[in-house]
Structure 1
Amino acid sequence: MGIIDNLEAMRARGQDSALLRYSLGNEYLKQAQIDQAIEHLAEATRQDPDYSAAWKLYGKALTQAERAAEAVEALHQGIEVAEAKGDAQAAKEMRVFLKRAQKALAAHRQ
């Protein structure tokens, strides 16, 4: 049984949490299963809106899925959360992802 299977089994047993959803999103992203990653990362941010690491990974996954407008929105939210918590490193990383997403969005509009 792999990590994803173990995490999904935990969720099936009702052990749902933002951390579990973040972990699932991270593992799905590693496997290039971006749609599943996005689903779980969105749920992680819904369950814990102050989870800056989840926002960062959510924005990254949306960018990889070429959903730039959604990525820009998620990353703005994530930066606000990170700054409010004093999580400077996460905010800095999200600004890098935000620039990429904004470039992709601008290219898409042309």
Structure 2
Amino acid sequence: MDTEPTLPPSITRLEKLLGGAHDGALLRYALGNEWLKAGHPSQAAEYLRQSLALDPSASAAWKLLGKALSANGEIPAAIEAFTQGITAATSHGDIQAVKEMTVFLRRLHRGSPSA
């Protein structure tokens, strides 16, 4: 029997906003971030993918998706997320995000999942 994880209050509050006037890429990103902080990378990745479906240019969401996938052991998918994130960040001139994701990508290519 699968039990529901105990949700931090921040996740409960944010999930109440789903489907409402404030629903969108930013809300989905925030939920992904909170789920990742709570130690649930697969749930985080689900929300981050939803965020990116709404705004594929969001380099922060790509970076967090890569981290969530890496934490979940999905290394090829994490590499792809960081690669797409670098492309998105480059197109917006977000140099810091490019640098961070490049470091995470290098670590994954070297076999260290701690992106």
Fold in common (TM above 0.5): yes
CA distance in 2: counterparts of 1:48 and 1:12, whole angstroms = 17
Note the aligned Cα RMSD (angstroms). Answer: 1.6
- State the identity %: 47
Aligned twin of 1:95: 102
Normalising by the residue count of structure 2, what TM-score does the alignment of the two structures yield? 0.85
Q: Do residues 10 (structure 1) and 17 (structure 2) align?
A: yes
CA distance in 2: counterparts of 1:46 and 1:58, whole angstroms = 12
* 1:25–1:38 Cα contact (<8 Å) kept: yes
- Structure 1 residue 14 displacement after superposition: 5.7
Normalising by the residue count of structure 1, what TM-score does the alignment of the two structures yield? 0.89
Aligned twin of 2:32: 25
Give the structure with the higher percent helix. Answer: 1
- Structure 1 residue 54 displacement after superposition: 0.3
- How many pairs were matched up? 105
Q: Do residues 58 (structure 1) and 65 (structure 2) align?
A: yes
Question: Greater shift after overlay, 93-102 or 68-77?
Answer: 93-102
CA distance in 1: counterparts of 2:54 and 2:63, whole angstroms = 15
Gaps of 5+ in 2: 1-7
Q: Which of 50, 67, 74 is residue 74 of structure 2 equivalent to? A: 67
